[in-house]
Structure 1
Amino acid sequence: MIESDKKFILIVDDSSTNLSVLSQALKTAGYKVRVAADGESALAMLEKCAIDPAKNPFPELILLDVQMPGIDGFETCSRIKENQVTKTIPVIFMTALADAESKIKGLSLGAVDYITKPFEQDEVIARVNIHWRLKQLTDNLEQQVTQRTCALQQAQVQVVQQEKLSALGQLVAGVAHEINNPLSFMVSNIAPAKEYLAEITEVLSLYQKHYPEPPSDIAIKIKDIDLEFVIEDFSHLLNSMQIGTERIKDISLSLRNFARSDGDIPSAIDLQETLDSTLLLLKHRLKNQGSRPDIEVIQNYGELPPIKCYPGPMNQVFMNLLANAIDAVEDAWEKDHRPLRITISTEVLRESAMVRIADNGLGMTDEIQQHLFEPLFTTKAVGKGTGLGLSIARQIVTDKHCGKLFCKSIAGAGKGTEFAIELPI
């Protein structure tokens, strides 16, 4: 027997006697039944199912008479199979036409079987049971394929993410290490260089005090090199070198922070410092490029406690979102020369740390937003995007940090796009 909670079988026949006999037989066998007296009524019933499938579930099997007034069974079957929503419903024809041509026509339209009139109830029940079972097996198989495909995509994304992060981390850590060697040499030598300059300047001052009239060749050389200017400018040069080395130190620190291993245990980090380090690494893209002016970055930082997370993967999320924001404002500049602006905001909201990265670019349509986090989906030109960045970012935030990643965008309204990251505190 079929369990009473199963979905319906739809019987379509212009004969009330056939409808009554078949309905009673199928109900006795444990099926729920719906009936339609012609093809138009059957199609209308299926349309209602499409509008509200929860209230009006689709039939899982259709018994369809061939010879009916109005549109016949062949045309009804053809329309059912043309509809993307109903095309997978098995159709069994019921007909008194026993010629091979009619059967071939019905099967070519997508029917799965024929029941010849006058029919035997036991035969009808047997055929319905077989095709019901086949439908259940097909649905289960499709569900398993969908689940396995989803699991495979997630596994592929994880592998790509791990390999990408590992390779990038090794590269960045190597660069930072190579920078540190000459940088340490420069930093450690600037301070004594300043002391030496001060001492040499003092000695020269003493010479000028005690020997105000130097020999002519020394006097000529002093005038040629403008000794006072050289001493003053040399001090300025050392100050500039010190500022430059401090900037390189900041970049090196940002590189080391970006390359931090995620490890097995999360650590408490300052998300705002992480954002600043990522901005420093992207600073070359924020500067003016030919006719394109600087990109303005507005930082509205609120008070955030240290957040436990995996630093390496979280750096990757910020890098991806900020790089995408830069791409978005650059595209907008090329189109209408609007001001270039990215806004980064942080706050505590409902016991969660919120990080928002917004741009004033062109925005995205609802259709694009529906596919935004799917693996391999990209709106960028060939060679400019892999379609994995946002998929990996969402996986890092949701799976690795039990957080959420949202996107809000309005296409063509000048409001751009905002990505919001919510992390539990």
Structure 2
Amino acid sequence: MNTDSEKKDIVLIVDDNSNNLGVLYNLLDDASFEVWVAQDGESAIEKVGYALPNLILLDIMMPGIDGFETCDRLKANPLTADIPVIFMSALSDTVDKVKGLSLGAVDYITKPFQQEEVLARVKLHLKLHFLTQKIEKQNQELEQRVQERTAELSQALHNLQQTQVQLVQTEKMSSLGQLVAGVAHEINNPVSFIFGNLNHASDYIRDLLSHLEAYQQHYPNPVPQITAHAEEIELDYLLEDLPNMITSMKVGADRISNISVSLQNFSRTDTSTKVAVNIHEGLESALLILRYRLKACGNSKAIEIVKEYGKLPLVECYPGQINQVFMNLIANAIDAFEEKTGEAVRNPTISIRTELVNDNFIRIRIADNGPGIPESVLSKLFEAFFTTKPTGKGTGLGLSISYQIVVEKHGGQLSCSSVPGQGTEFSVEIPIKQS
């Protein structure tokens, strides 16, 4: 169990019989354990008060306080309560065995000893004890790391929101991409930690369940107390549900990982050169980020997204900037449903269609069935600082910046058509390859 360079596991033997002490001492010492001895219960309790062993072999019949009383005192002390105790006795009465186990002992060895059995039981319970400690420690570390990362991410998201406001006002769009990429990177660290520990926890739980099944196979008729406890904790349901719980946790961690990938895809900051990308990935990333605004909230109805994606080639562009255009146009469509002017839309819907115009251009159309835009406003939509929103609700830069990205930086076209009372559609055309 230990290499020469590792600290030896400590076993405390408590027995008033010198012959038993000698046999057990030699057996465990030859097995590379560090062995402590005590000849009565008081000495054992005093000895563990100075240093803690990893396991205790405890005789029942001893002068002074017997093994039962000794075990009861050890389990009552928080410092020694978790030390595995294995009772040793010539008593074979089931009542005595049950009493020992009810006091917190993990096993029972009957005298005269079978040395191979003693060694096997000691190694088994040490392994179970260390595995339990390791799982508890990892759970504590995992909880602490999750709390720390949650606080960090909450602060990062708060900073991101504040920076977004300043970003739109100053048109420094590259900063937004860098910040979102940083958040996505930070998400990867705790997610990787969770994934790694879930795999180990799953293995440990499987081993423990297998061990329990082995006990059930070899001891099919347990004592009434164990049967009652199994019914109390709904053991059959626990055995069935525990693996499902681990699987659900893995699914949740995988969902977080997918969100991180989408954030990284949305926040591409490669503004120095144009690269060939999948336009649909950018649309999906924008939808993911705006997903919270699509859900029903208060008096606002849920917004349905209808997607009709055509077969498109990879498109050469500045991905981060094009993704920002998608973000602006979808957000404007959502805003149209939230303005609450006139009669509310019965089934609010945003349609996103992509198609190949010809060998040189693709088109993305983002339409809503909202209240529409008056003709007097259409001609001013792409002017800087023009907005129909109340003060504090918009800067008038979103569509202006989107127009510059599509037309000036990509040589494409951005247009808008609308029918009051029926809805609005924005059309984005960009070349497949840049000259």
TM over 0.5: yes
2:265 is aligned to 257
Alignment CA distance shift 1:162-1:399 (3 Å): farther
TM-score (structure 2 length as normaliser): 0.58
Q: Partner letter of residue 265 of structure 2?
A: N
Q: Partner letter of residue 363 of structure 2?
A: M
Deviation (angstroms), 1:254: 1.3
Q: Partner letter of residue 259 of structure 1?
A: S
1:236 is aligned to 244
- Structure 1 residue ranges without an equivalent (≥5): 1-158
Aligned residue pair count: 265
Q: Does residue 214 of structure 2 align to residue 206 of structure 1?
A: yes
Deviation (angstroms), 1:162: 7.4
CA contact (8 A) 2:367 2:425 kept: yes
Q: Partner letter of residue 407 of structure 2?
A: T
Q: Partner letter of residue 310 of structure 2?
A: G
- Of 245-254 and 382-391, deviating more is 245-254
CA contact (8 A) 2:168 2:395 kept: no
For residues 342 and 235 of structure 2, what CA distance do their matches in structure 1 show? 51
CA contact (8 A) 1:332 1:361 kept: no
For residues 397 and 345 of structure 2, what CA distance do their matches in structure 1 show? 29
1:330 is aligned to 338
Secondary structure class of the residue paired with 1:372: coil
Q: Partner letter of residue 373 of structure 1?
A: F
Structure 2 counterpart of 1:221, from 207, 229, 248: 229
Q: Deviations over 1:319-342 (max 9, x none)?
A: 111111111133369832420100
Q: Partner letter of residue 230 of structure 1?
A: L
1:423 is aligned to 430
CA contact (8 A) 1:161 1:392 kept: no
Percent identity (aligned):
49
Q: Name the larger-Rg structure.
A: 1
For residues 301 and 271 of structure 2, what CA distance do their matches in structure 1 show? 40
For residues 231 and 380 of structure 1, what CA distance do their matches in structure 2 show? 57
1:269 is aligned to 277
Q: Deviations over 1:286-336 (max 9, x none)?
A: 111134332110110000000000011111101111111111133369832
CA contact (8 A) 2:341 2:371 kept: no
- Structure 2 residue ranges without an equivalent (≥5): 1-166
For residues 341 and 378 of structure 2, what CA distance do their matches in structure 1 show? 22
CA contact (8 A) 2:351 2:368 kept: yes
Secondary structure class of the residue paired with 1:297: strand
CA contact (8 A) 1:332 1:362 kept: no
Structure 2 counterpart of 1:383, from 382, 388, 392: 392
TM-score (structure 1 length as normaliser): 0.59
Secondary structure class of the residue paired with 1:238: helix
Q: Deviations over 1:339-368 (max 9, x none)?
A: 010000000012311101000100001110
For residues 246 and 306 of structure 1, what CA distance do their matches in structure 2 show? 27
Secondary structure class of the residue paired with 2:321: helix
2:303 is aligned to 295
- RMSD over equivalenced CA pairs, Å: 1.9
What does 1:264-413 correspond to in 2, within 5 Å? Answer: 264-331=272-339, 335-351=343-359, 352-412=361-421
Secondary structure class of the residue paired with 2:356: strand
For residues 271 and 312 of structure 1, what CA distance do their matches in structure 2 show? 11
